[in-house]
Structure 1
Amino acid sequence: MDQGPGRLPGKSAVITGAAFGIGRATAVSFAREGARMVVTDIQGEALLAFADELRETGAEVETVIGDVSVEDDARRMIAAATARFGRLDVLVANAGIIPLGDVQEMTTADWDGVMAIDGRGMFLTCKFGIEAMLPTGGGAIVCLTSISGVAGQKRQAAYGPAKFVATGLAKHLAVEWADRGIRVNAVAPGTISTERVNQMREEPGGPEYLATVEAMHPMGRIGEPAEVASAILFLASDDASFITGAVLPVDGGYLAQ
């Protein structure tokens, strides 16, 4: 494996949900730090365009268009890394959806949809990721949870429990595989300025909702995707070599209240 500059020199990584938001910012960060990547997303056109942008920086990039909740798709995402790079060193299990509503508003379809992507999808990518890491002595997994996966919030009746799945999965897998050289941690973002959040500024009631959310974060603002990507990079790198089972908030102080 070639070694070069950066915090992930020559490391092979898979990043799910990479076309937009936190996943996209993470891929940009990983490319800058020397990683070789498989970037995945269900939105194929946007993913392929983004991969071309990454390649222009000199990064080695493979793409897989697929749905993390579909077992064969999740398996293909991991297999692409071992086929292209011979190994898997880092998995960022980021793909997710965010339905908002209280328990009266949420339907069983809403529940099943978010549990499929944010729950089952994370389980599957971690399962196949661990399988790929074991023959080469281990690796690092970072699961994307949320402040809603650590503490209760209004209008998160389906999304919040799905993110508790992500938090719990990270902790259990950390204990289960620590002695095989696999570290598993989670990042818990607060409200982040992703494409979906920014769309709310143009929706009825959206600006008022975002103003309320911003005020709930002690720093008085929402976060940027690159700020979350920096935390993911830390946990994925050897700088976090003695950290596993941690849930790192990136939330402007929200959970400290």
Structure 2
Amino acid sequence: MANHDAETTHGRLSDRVCVITGAASGIGRATVERFLREGAHVVAADRDADRLATLEGVVPVVGDVSRDDDAKRMIATAVDRFGRLDVLVANAGVIPLLSITEAEASDFDEVMAVDGRGMFLTCKYAIEAMLVSGGGAIVCTSSISGVAGQARQAVYGPAKFVATGLTKHLAVEWAQHGIRVNAVAPGTIETERVAAARHEPGGPEYLAEVVRAHPMARFGEPSEVASAILFLASPDASFITGAILPVDGGYLAH
């Protein structure tokens, strides 16, 4: 089957078969909604079964990306249901706000399992499927913490450097097979996680400091990140691979 990136369609993702992980909330949910509006067939994966059940118009898969069998099943569901996989959005992640003195080894292990190993596994099985169908596009969710240092990111930041590195290495390795691999690097986004941080010890002070570091003087919206993910997943980005696209209100421009 020819590389679907090269096809012209009515919607930017018309008839594309897409898997989105971490789909039940935040950036993942906004991406699901945007992809559906653009005509995509969406397999939405998350370990939160209750929230996943509130999404309409998707094929839901409850699972944990850090588990090999679950990650494989997310991709297999798309192939079994629609015959191929065109797009993976590797978005699942957990975001603790911890300094290295506050964190335990178990915190580091949990974040690396989901944000690191989970991204590795979903990319692995997506690439295997895309090799059969003739190519595709992967968009990983990295972070400004995967490009530059931040306070209280001793466990989250290193995992996002994994996302950034994995993106670049896979982009080089699979470009000749018609598979593009890019990433978004969001700044602080108004997700449920940020809302929760406002009620954690030290959270309001931390967020006030972080918003001052964004030249646009506000946090982003999930829909703004979803728009960037859509661009990288779509044929509009057909000559872009290995890119880390900041969606950060200017944070990394300092």
**Which TM bucket (shorter chain)?**
over 0.9
Letter in 2 for 1:29: R
**Which residue is 1:111 aligned to?**
108
**Which residue is 2:39 aligned to?**
34
**Which residue is 2:167 aligned to?**
170
Q: Determine helix, strand or coil for the equivalent of 1:170.
A: helix
The structural deviation recorded for 1:205 is: 3.4
1:191 to 171, 185, 188: 188
Q: Determine helix, strand or coil for the equivalent of 2:183.
A: strand
Letter in 2 for 1:81: A
- Contact persistence 1:12–1:36 (CA under 8 A): yes
The structural deviation recorded for 1:103 is: 1.2
Matched, 1:69 2:53: no
The structural deviation recorded for 1:97 is: 0.3
Hey, what's the Cα distance between the residues in 2 that align with 1:156 and 1:176?
29
Hey, what's the Cα distance between the residues in 1 that align with 2:197 and 2:159?
22
Aligned CA distance change for structure 1 residues 48 and 196 (closer, same or farther; 3 Å): same
Q: Determine helix, strand or coil for the equivalent of 2:138.
A: strand
Give the 5 Å matches for 1:14-93: 14-50=19-55, 54-55=56-57, 61-93=58-90
Letter in 1 for 2:191: T
What do you get for the CA RMSD once the two structures are aligned? Answer: 1.2
The structural deviation recorded for 1:208 is: 2.5
| Greater relative contact order (CA < 8 Å, ≥ 6 in sequence) | 2
Hey, what's the Cα distance between the residues in 2 that align with 1:205 and 1:171?
35
TM-score (normalised: structure 1): 0.94
**Which residue is 2:91 aligned to?**
94
**Which residue is 2:220 aligned to?**
223
Give the 5 Å matches for 1:142-153: 142-153=139-150
The structural deviation recorded for 1:203 is: 3.5
Output one character per residue of 1:101-130: Cα deviation in whole Å (capped at 9) or x when no partner: 111111110010000000000000000000
Q: Determine helix, strand or coil for the equivalent of 2:45.
A: strand
Output one character per residue of 1:59-84: Cα deviation in whole Å (capped at 9) or x when no partner: xx211100000000000000000001
The structural deviation recorded for 1:158 is: 0.9
Q: Determine helix, strand or coil for the equivalent of 2:249.
A: coil
- Percent of aligned positions that are identical: 70
Give the 5 Å matches for 1:4-19: 5-19=10-24
- Contact persistence 1:22–1:225 (CA under 8 A): yes
- Contact persistence 1:4–1:34 (CA under 8 A): no
Hey, what's the Cα distance between the residues in 2 that align with 1:126 and 1:25?
21
Letter in 1 for 2:14: P
Runs of 4+ deviating beyond 6 Å: none
Hey, what's the Cα distance between the residues in 2 that align with 1:142 and 1:126?
9
Hey, what's the Cα distance between the residues in 2 that align with 1:183 and 1:129?
12
The structural deviation recorded for 1:209 is: 2.2
**Which residue is 1:240 aligned to?**
237
Matched, 1:124 2:121: yes
Q: Determine helix, strand or coil for the equivalent of 1:186.
A: strand
The structural deviation recorded for 1:212 is: 1.4
Letter in 2 for 1:70: R
Hey, what's the Cα distance between the residues in 1 that align with 2:203 and 2:148?
23
Unaligned runs of 5+ in 2: none
Hey, what's the Cα distance between the residues in 2 that align with 1:139 and 1:178?
10
The structural deviation recorded for 1:189 is: 0.3
1:253 to 237, 250, 253: 250
Letter in 2 for 1:45: D
